[in-house]
């Protein structure tokens, strides 16, 4: 349990840092896929098997492919190899994220420590489905409406502009 956690922690942190720091965009996307797989492993280690499967299907299966397509469609052929991949004021970005990290870790010092529960609360898919159909029925409908709207909106935004406009 502990070994698995540390392996997964090192795995996700390494792939996350690689995903935001490499020059080649496709390599960044591949590191991001490794990051998503590591997150799914953390879900599995927390006994949330359904969520781990959803993570792999949605992120590795759909969002990663979407990101790769976006990279291929917007590839700057003329090449921007000579300029740095980081923006001009990136020192401030690193500083802000470091400060946020320090504040978060500091605020974790005070919280109540609790050990692993004796009986891990294994949750069947049945319970999640029943939750969606009973207590969370209205949020479930709202999220499906949101997904439909996002789908239509994405198609409308990405549609080719009419030739006459330009």
Partner 1 sequence: MLILADYLTLAAVLFCIGLAGTLTRRNAIIVLMGIEMMLNAANINLVAFWYFLPAQIGTGQIFAIFAIAIAGAEAAVGLALVIAVYRHFRSVNVEEITGLKG
- Residue 14: burial class (beta carbons within 10 Å; 0-12, 13-18, 19+): middle
Least Å distance between CB 155 and partner 1?
8
Separation in Å, CA 56 to CA 42, 61, 80, 121, 153: 12, 6, 33, 22, 25
- Closer CB to partner 1, residue 90 or residue 164? 90
Least Å distance between CB 86 and partner 1?
5
Separation in Å, CA 19 to CA 11, 25, 86, 110, 158: 12, 9, 13, 32, 25
Q: DSSP readout, 15-48? A: HHHHHHH-SSHHHHHHHHHHHHHHHHHHHHHTT-
Q: What angle do CA 9, 12, 16 make, to 5 degrees?
A: 140
Least Å distance between CB 164 and partner 1?
15
- Closer CB to partner 1, residue 46 or residue 164? 46
Least Å distance between CB 20 and partner 1?
3
């Amino acid at each position: 349990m502990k070994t698995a956690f540390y392996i997964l922690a090192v795995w996700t942190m390494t792939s996350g840092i690689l995903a935001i720091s490499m020059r080649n965009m496709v390599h960044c996307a591949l590191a991001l896929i490794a990051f998503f797989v590591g997150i799914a492993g953390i879900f599995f280690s927390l006994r949330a098997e359904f969520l781990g499967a959803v993570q792999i299907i949605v992120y590795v299966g759909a969002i990663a492919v979407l990101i790769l397509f976006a990279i291929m469609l917007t590839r700057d052929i003329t090449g921007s190899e000579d300029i740095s991949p980081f923006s001009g004021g990136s020192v401030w970005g690193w500083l802000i994220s470091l400060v946020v990290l320090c504040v978060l870790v500091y605020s974790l010092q005070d919280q109540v420590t609790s050990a692993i529960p004796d009986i891990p609360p294994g949750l069947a898919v049945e319970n999640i489905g029943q939750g969606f159909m009973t207590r969370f029925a209205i949020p479930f409908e709202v999220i499906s409406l949101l997904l439909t709207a996002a789908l239509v909106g994405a198609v409308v935004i990405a549609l080719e502009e009419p030739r006459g406009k330009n």
